Amino acid sequence: MPKISQKGRLMPSSPIRKLVPYAEQAYKEGKTVYHLNIGQPDIKTPEVALDAVKVHSLDILAYTRSEGSEDYRKKIAQYYAKNNIHVTHSDIIVTTGGSEALLFAFGSIMDSGDEIIIPEPFYANYNGFSTASDIKVVPVISKIENNFALPPIEEFESLITDKTKAILICNPGNPTGYLYSREEIKQLADLVKKHDLFLIADEVYREFVYDGNEFYSIMQEEGIEDHAIMIDSVSKRYSMCGARIGYFVSRNKEVIQTALKFAQARLSPPTLAQIASEAALSTPQSYFDDVIEEYVKRRNTLIRELKKIDGLKVAEPKGAFYCIVELPVKSADHFAQWLLESYDLDKETVMVAPAAGFYSTPNVGLNQIRIAYVLNEESLIRAVQILKEALKVYPNN
């Protein structure tokens, strides 16, 4: 029998999606499942985006330019300017989701065996992207005890070798909800300049910042223009996860020209999704104001209810719509599967994402889960109640 590749064997399963078969079985058994496992907002997509697709006048669904349509990229640059990020349309490549933008970044700046330093826990697919690109993730562990703040910059510097090519952050963070301060960004900027590295920032949750805090982009930091690569996406901002439109942004012309070759190899980003995403740029500020208000309510409700559970620790997010929860169990993987296979409270149960998959360090985060607070307040309260009751009877504590 032919063998699959070693790369394929090493490719990690998604901690967010690997429990789906158990959830489907739970549905077949007549259970209601509260999905806290995936960052799929229940917020409605702006009507202006949906309407643009409904009323398009295309006769042929043709390829677009590999870097995305020029008009769209010019409008993206205008959007950034409103957010104090000053780039031109030629600094932007439209990608098939932020995921492809990250793959373009890895392919453009790293060779097989090179290293990238990432504070963990981090977005689980960074592990998959690094495996697919044959590069090594070098983790710096942040801790729940200090809300997953940026680890001391000395820890980053101690890990830099001649194989190190970049540092990657997610700001605000998935899965932690941590928001990096201006000072923390400046520390990273100084470090990448000192060691001539790239700084990649996944900033897809830019709009989701709470409590009057400031979002500070790496693209606002002066002096790192040749070092900075920003990853962006319409998925969360406009609740358009299925559009699969992202952005690769850099003022480094050589990086853009290199990434464009990867973009040409996959031909072009999807045409209809670009139409919807371009229209979404005209979404009124009131939409975002309402969304932020809703997520603050959800976050506050979730944290309040979780803190009622004995033996549980929870980090308080300042952005995005995730938090990491440390449970009084040995294995969050087993607990998450048990919730779907063997437990219900009045025919209702909960699906969570075990957090070990958000680390690359072995045997870390084994008793942690990520919760996405993308459900309404009533559902969040019920979901936490189910968690609380489940922990009381879980046999493997």
- What's the pLDDT score for residue 14? 81
Best CA proximity match to 12, nearest among 358, 366, 397? 358
Best CA proximity match to 238, nearest among 273, 179, 280? 280
Considering the domain boundaries, does residue 180 fall inside one? Answer: yes
Task: Tell me the mean pLDDT in the region 288-315.
Answer: 96
Asked if residue 231 lies in contact with residue 201, where contact means CB atoms within 8 angstroms, the answer is: yes
Domain extent for 376: 6-44+286-393
DSSP per-residue letters across 83-149: TT----GGGEEEESHHHHHHHHHHHHH--TT-EEEEEES--THHHHHHHHTT-EEEEEE--GGGTTP
pLDDT for 362 beyond 80 = yes
Domain boundary among 255, 280, 305: 280
CA distance to 100, 309, 369, per residue, from 140 (Å): 24, 29, 19
Whether residue 183 sits in one domain with residue 162: yes
Whether residue 72 sits in one domain with residue 142: yes
Q: Give the number of other CB atoms < 10 A from CB of residue 4.
A: 9
Asked if residue 192 lies in contact with residue 227, where contact means CB atoms within 8 angstroms, the answer is: yes
Considering the domain boundaries, does residue 1 fall inside one? Answer: no
| C-alpha 314: how far from chain center | 19
Query: pLDDT per residue over 7-18, tens digit each?
Result: 999 998 887 778
Task: Tell me the mean pLDDT in the region 278-291.
Answer: 96
Task: Tell me the mean pLDDT in the region 197-205.
Answer: 98
pLDDT for 75 beyond 90 = yes
Query: The CATH number of the domain where 309 resides is what?
Result: 3.90.1150.10
Can you tell me the distance from the alpha carbon of 245 to that of 225, in angstroms, rounded to the nearest whole number?
A: 24
DSSP per-residue letters across 47-86: HHHHHHHHT---SS-----TT--HHHHHHHHHHHHHTT--
DSSP 314: E
Considering the domain boundaries, does residue 293 fall inside one? Answer: yes
- Cα angle for residues 342, 347, 350 (degrees, 5° grid): 65
Considering the domain boundaries, does residue 261 fall inside one? Answer: yes
Q: Give the number of other CB atoms < 10 A from CB of residue 211.
A: 11
Q: Roughly what angle, to the nearest 10 degrees, separates helices 285-306 and 377-393?
A: 20
For 6, residues 6+ apart whose C-beta sits below 8 A from its C-beta are none
Residue with tokens 């790192």: 224
Domain boundary among 280, 295, 311: 280
- Report residue 121's pLDDT band, with 50, 70 and 90 as the boundaries: very high
Considering the domain boundaries, does residue 328 fall inside one? Answer: yes
Residue with tokens 């983790």: 139
Best CA proximity match to 203, nearest among 181, 242, 229? 229
Query: pLDDT per residue over 204-224, tens digit each?
Result: 999 999 999 999 999 999 999
Whether residue 184 sits in one domain with residue 235: yes
Whether residue 55 sits in one domain with residue 25: no
Considering the domain boundaries, does residue 19 fall inside one? Answer: yes
Asked if residue 350 lies in contact with residue 390, where contact means CB atoms within 8 angstroms, the answer is: yes
pTM for the predicted model, two decimal places: 0.96
Whether residue 256 sits in one domain with residue 160: yes
Diameter of the chain measured on Cα atoms: 61
- What's the pLDDT score for residue 13? 82
Asked if residue 302 lies in contact with residue 83, where contact means CB atoms within 8 angstroms, the answer is: no
Overall number of domains in the chain: 2
- Report residue 377's pLDDT band, with 50, 70 and 90 as the boundaries: very high
Whether residue 325 sits in one domain with residue 219: no
Whether residue 380 sits in one domain with residue 263: no
Whether residue 223 sits in one domain with residue 325: no
pLDDT for 397 beyond 80 = no
What are the percentages of helix, strand and coil residues in the chain, rounded to 5? 40, 15, 45
For 395, residues 6+ apart whose C-beta sits below 8 A from its C-beta are none
Whether residue 358 sits in one domain with residue 246: no
Can you tell me the distance from the alpha carbon of 132 to that of 87, in angstroms, rounded to the nearest whole number?
A: 30
Whether residue 205 sits in one domain with residue 312: no
Whether residue 247 sits in one domain with residue 180: yes
Whether residue 94 sits in one domain with residue 29: no
Query: The CATH number of the domain where 128 resides is what?
Result: 3.40.640.10
Best CA proximity match to 148, nearest among 307, 3, 358, 288? 358
- Cα angle for residues 283, 289, 291 (degrees, 5° grid): 85
Considering the domain boundaries, does residue 314 fall inside one? Answer: yes
Domain boundary among 218, 247, 280: 280
Read off the tokens for 242: 């299925």
Considering the domain boundaries, does residue 351 fall inside one? Answer: yes
